[in-house]
Amino acid sequence: INSEGRQIFLRDIWPTRDEIQAVERTFVIPSMFKEVYKKIEKVNERWNSLVAPSNNLYTWDEKSTYIKSPPFFDGLTMKLPPPESIKEAYVLLNLGDSVTTDHISPAGNIARNSAAARYLTERGLTPREYNSYGSRRGNDAVMARGTFANIRLFNKFLNKQAPQTIYLPTGETFDVFDAAEMYKQSGVPLLVLAGKEYGSGSSRDWAAKGPFLLGIKAVLAESYERIHRSNLVGMGVIPLEYLPGDTAESLGLTGRERYTIIIPEQLTPHMVVDVKLNTGKTFKVRMRFDTDVELTYFHNGGILNYMIRKMSQN
């Protein structure tokens, strides 16, 4: 409202297109841009003197600790493989409620006693050169080692906060990555048990990429944060949900069992499937594929594989 009591709207003070163009013609001169771009290839001598490959494909530097070729497409075939049941999976982590993406995702500085630090030390780096996980997000080997490396992670196997877990075949305690590697070398799939609101907090892509690289095939939780559940689907990790009234406690799950998840060939959104334990116990869970599109991503092994196949077909 102006001093005369009249209402003033944005349309009353917003400049017209003609007024804007008049200012552009007066002050934003085309020759300014032509002058800048005419010199762009010559003005920076140091940049122009850098040696760069001329290949059409990126030339990976095997010695780089910042950028390496990611393994997301290893073993990718153009033909869609049929969905497979998860057989005799071990539980890598037995978690409670409100596990956040801060607990899951690599974040912050790289601790000197971490698996990521050992990886960098083996490549000749000193602690002052470790830098942060954010700066090394282009190196999957560092990021996988930083997954579940949060010192505030509470793992029921240990009954304390630590970025560690128990390697169940021997009962020994290891950093989460090291235990996952031992399972992977044995060809064993992995599962995470969790409570309510798994993946809460800010959305982070590495909170899904990291577990995928650790060999985690599925998460079984009471509920999920919406975006994190979608990110898990995008990486081909199955979000399983207890049926209403069921929890790990009510079902008597310790996490030390081995889990077989029966996945039929014909899948539908929100499908209920069977879980069989090596103890003989069987119970049902819901697959949190909420749409047909998410099922398409899962059949492809994740959204990355889906996009590669789609681009190749086009």
Q: How far apart are CA 216 and CA 238, in angstroms?
A: 9
In this structure, what DSSP letter does residue 200 have? B
Question: Tokens 């749409």 appear where?
Answer: 291
DSSP 244-279: TT--TTTTT--S-S-EEE---SS--TT-EEEEEETT
Show the CA angle centred on residue 145, arms to residues 143 and 151, nearest 5°.
105
Contact 167, 184 (CB under 8 A): no
Name the pairing type of β-strands 272-277 and 216-221: unpaired
List, for the chain, all residue ranges whose pLDDT scores fall below the cut of 50: none
Q: What is the pTM of this model?
A: 0.83
The predicted pLDDT at position 28 comes to 84
105 burial via Cβ count (<10 Å: 0-12, 13-18, 19+): buried
User: Residues with Cβ < 8 Å from 253, sequence gap 6 or more?
Assistant: 193
The predicted pLDDT at position 177 comes to 98
Q: Nearest 5°: phi and psi at 123?
A: -100, 20
Hey, what amino acid is at 230?
Answer: S
Q: How many CB atoms lie within 10 A of CB 308?
A: 17
- The two tokens of residue 241 are 């949900």
Question: Tokens 């999957």 appear where?
Answer: 140
The predicted pLDDT at position 209 comes to 96
Q: How far apart are CA 201 and CA 220, in angstroms?
A: 18
The predicted pLDDT at position 302 comes to 94
The predicted pLDDT at position 252 comes to 96
The predicted pLDDT at position 25 comes to 84
Q: End-to-end distance of the chain based on CA atoms, in angstroms?
A: 58
